[in-house]
Structure 1
Amino acid sequence: MECFFVNGTKYSKVKNWIKSEILCGTFESKQKIPSETELMERFNYSRHTIRLALGELVSEGWLYKEQGAGTYVSERTETEIKAPTTPNKRNIAIIVTYISDYIFPSIIRGAESVLSQEGYQVSLFSTNNDHENERKILETIIAQRFDGVIVEPTKSAISNPNIIYYLQLEALKIPYVMINAAYDELEPVSVLLDDVKGGYIQANHLIGLGHRNIIGFFKTDDLQGLKRMKGYLKAMRENGVPINPKHIVTYSTGEKMSKPIKGLETIIKKSSEVPTGIVCYNDELALKLIDVLRQNNLRVPEDLSIIGFDDSFFADISEVKLTTVRHPKNELGEMAATKIIQLVEGKSNQKAVGTMDESFHFEPTIVHRNSIKEMTKNLQLPLSYSN
């Protein structure tokens, strides 16, 4: 299994821009590209940097020069660079937001085990949850004509500037399966956990144990966070529990190390009524918030109950064993691998604009440990969750 990370020098930014324009069809075969002077003005780079970028694109077959006339786009067949392969093996790219962090190694292991067993070669890419990185990776996958792609969308709750690359995958008949979240406009085959129900059962569990003043922490540049917040709000409303807007803390990827911590400190120090329960976007955040509570002389679960999400290794390493919602990490990876193999081998269908027909949703369940205290018994809860 190969792993790839993206970075960018000045000349590589010029290269990537030109390749992007070619892959998206802005620069067509045999079309003249902007001159060196025009590129210098566009990027505010030196002529040496521009020439270095153009020279590499010529040597790689993307462009060709005509003496005294300029630089032109090569025929598409000349720019199709095959992926480094093992003979007779098909190649699957796995794109995740992170490779070695949190639950992602388990997802990757699950997918890689199925793909390897079926004779596929796996190349692993990380976007670091950054759209620019996602773009560069998609360019590589298109240029090297991988046979299929398993991809976790980058900042899935935000309008994505890279949708055109997924359409290019479809045009080239390179199937892809999305995991953890999906770009709705593409209607892709996807393998997901029901995050709305996950957020619902988090809050419903606390409410069922007598909690009424419950804080919610949600990461909102990813769809998982928005859906978990939707489930939280649904549970509160169905149980007639008042929702305090000040007790809902939202944050982005770039704020995850600071905003939730400051939000919790503000609530416990300034609220007239200290909350009794906390719903967390994930287990990683839950552990950070437990540290904040400890620093403010509050105990879990004696003073505050807390529930996580994902049933990650974090849930069991703290001195307070964390009640959490289970994420089917290995199973999700295995299912995604099964789906992409079906698409590659023609045993399933991915229409030109995608299809949700072949998608799969896992049902979330609660893993009970000891980070929640019962407040009141025999409360009437909704009989069942409904979409």
Structure 2
Amino acid sequence: MKRRSEGEAMKRVGIRDVAEHAGVSISTVSNALNRPGTVSEQLVTRVRSAADQLGYVPLQAAQQLRAGRSGLLGMTVINIANPFFAEMVAGAEDAASAAGMRVLVGNSSDDAGKERDHLELFERVQVEGALVSPFGQTRPWLDRLRRRGIPVVLVDAVDDTGQSPSVSFDDVAGGRLAAEHLLSTGRRRLAFVGAREEVRQVRERLAGARAAVAAHPGATIEPIWTRRTTSELGRAFGEQIADRSPGDRPDGIVTSNDHLAIGLLHGLVTRGVRVPEDIAVVGYDDIEFAAIAAVPLTSVRQPAREMGRTAAEMLLARVNGDDHQQLGSVVYQPELIVRASTGGHA
């Protein structure tokens, strides 16, 4: 048998290395390890001895693919830096783990190009199903996955074509609930701070807020758009709003997520604006940090982990062929959690 040098031993050991070490063909190694009854006992011993000496471990993914299964679900999210999406992934992992599967996560980072790359990767590695929280125009890529026999479930979104089941949130109702709460406290000059109106969720939250304002004569709402939904940008916009003259400021603000809202609170307070006396603020998602912000944040709660778990369970049912029921969809309803940023209890 050939001996491997110290430098060669540092590489990942493959089936070819075992074959060379044992002095046999690759097919003999494969048969000895996977179908020992097809070769002699002497060859089985020889191959296994070589594998043990080299530290060869069969690649589980390759074995699964040969069996027609990858053991993987793919999942894209808009921005995992947002705790809402991190919780959604955790929920999907809960369901996948219970079924003996793993989740391959693609973080789009508010970038449609990255999102397409992740969906292409899912196709290449042959995931058994895909959970997609879309940012850009994903329809052509979802069609490709479906043509390959890979089922798709949309998360935090709805498929207008009706081809994929979905788990979503009533964002129009959420935006309306947030604005109605501010209006009920006497606020009349509202602002909506959000990123990228082309994102469906943001657009629908603003539509709901506008509907609430329209029902109150004399009330107004000003859209303020940011490039991204980070706390740093929220702080900058809070400072800009605080620097306006008091008569030109909004007296109530709805934000498209809690990241923006927490930063915005910091920007307002550090500029001497009193929250909620001068400006009341409502966030969206009710992430963990909302309750412990400098001014505890009123927020529209989304059950992120439950949404991820439900979507993964729907996908697993389709992966396992239990798709005799209608595609359907699940739509979660908003809940307003009132805290000090709008005058509620801290």
Question: Which TM-score tier does this pair reach, normalised by the shorter chain?
Answer: 0.7 to 0.9
Partner of 1:326: 301
Q: Which amino acid aligns with 1:97?
A: I
Q: Which amino acid aligns with 2:169?
A: L
Deviations for 1:341-376, whole angstroms, at most 9, x for unmatched residues? 1211222269xxxx8x421100000012111138xx
TM-score scaled by structure 1? 0.66
Partner of 1:223: 200
Partner of 1:11: none
Q: Measure how far apart 1:270 and its partner are.
A: 4.2
Q: Please state if 1:137 is matched with 2:112.
A: no
Q: Which amino acid aligns with 2:106?
A: F
Partner of 1:117: 98
**Contact 1:83–1:146 under 8 Å retained in 2:** no
**Contact 2:254–2:281 under 8 Å retained in 1:** yes
**Contact 1:278–1:306 under 8 Å retained in 2:** yes
Deviations for 1:258-305, whole angstroms, at most 9, x for unmatched residues? 488348625751463433211111111111111221132111112211
Name which of 174, 177, 182 aligns with 1:206.
182
Q: Measure how far apart 1:89 and its partner are.
A: 6.4
Q: Please state if 1:306 is matched with 2:312.
A: no
Partner of 2:220: 243
Q: Measure how far apart 1:188 and its partner are.
A: 2.7
**Contact 1:85–1:121 under 8 Å retained in 2:** no
- Percent identity between the two aligned chains: 28
Task: List runs of 5+ in structure 1 lacking aligned partners.
Answer: 1-81, 375-387
Name which of 349, 365, 371 aligns with 2:341.
371
Partner of 1:60: none
Q: Measure how far apart 1:221 and its partner are.
A: 3.5
SS where residue 110 of structure 1 aligns? helix
**Contact 2:159–2:165 under 8 Å retained in 1:** no
Partner of 1:98: 79
Q: How does 1:223-302 map to 2 (within 5 A)?
A: 223-244=200-221, 247-253=222-228, 257-258=232-233, 261-262=236-237, 265-266=240-241, 269-270=244-245, 272-302=247-277
SS where residue 86 of structure 2 aligns? helix
Q: Which amino acid aligns with 1:126?
A: N
Deviations for 1:48-76, whole angstroms, at most 9, x for unmatched residues? xxxxxxxxxxxxxxxxxxxxxxxxxxxxx
Q: Which amino acid aligns with 2:86?
A: P
Query: Aligned equivalents of 1:301 and 1:256: distance in 2?
Result: 19
TM superposition outliers: structure 1 runs of 4+ over 4 Å: 82-89, 254-260
Partner of 1:345: 320
Deviations for 1:196-223, whole angstroms, at most 9, x for unmatched residues? 1000000011111221111111222421
Partner of 1:37: none
**Contact 1:298–1:304 under 8 Å retained in 2:** yes
Query: Aligned equivalents of 1:121 and 1:295: distance in 2?
Result: 44
Query: Aligned equivalents of 2:243 and 2:256: distance in 1?
Result: 19
Q: Please state if 1:361 is matched with 2:331.
A: yes
**Contact 1:175–1:343 under 8 Å retained in 2:** yes
Query: Aligned equivalents of 1:297 and 1:233: distance in 2?
Result: 29
Name which of 153, 156, 170 aligns with 1:180.
156
Q: 1:330 to 1:197 in 2, by over 3 A?
A: same
Higher-helix-fraction structure: 2
**Contact 1:251–1:260 under 8 Å retained in 2:** no
Q: 1:94 to 1:83 in 2, by over 3 A?
A: farther
Partner of 2:141: 165
Partner of 1:316: 291
Q: Measure how far apart 1:143 and its partner are.
A: 1.9
**Contact 1:280–1:307 under 8 Å retained in 2:** yes
TM-score scaled by structure 2? 0.73
Q: 1:116 to 1:178 in 2, by over 3 A?
A: same
Q: Which amino acid aligns with 1:167?
A: D
Whose radius of gyration is greater, 1 or 2? 2
**Contact 2:229–2:257 under 8 Å retained in 1:** no
**Contact 1:202–1:307 under 8 Å retained in 2:** yes
Q: Measure how far apart 1:138 and its partner are.
A: 1.6
Q: 1:306 to 1:195 in 2, by over 3 A?
A: same
**Contact 2:238–2:268 under 8 Å retained in 1:** no
Q: How does 1:35-50 map to 2 (within 5 A)?
A: none
**Contact 1:199–1:228 under 8 Å retained in 2:** yes
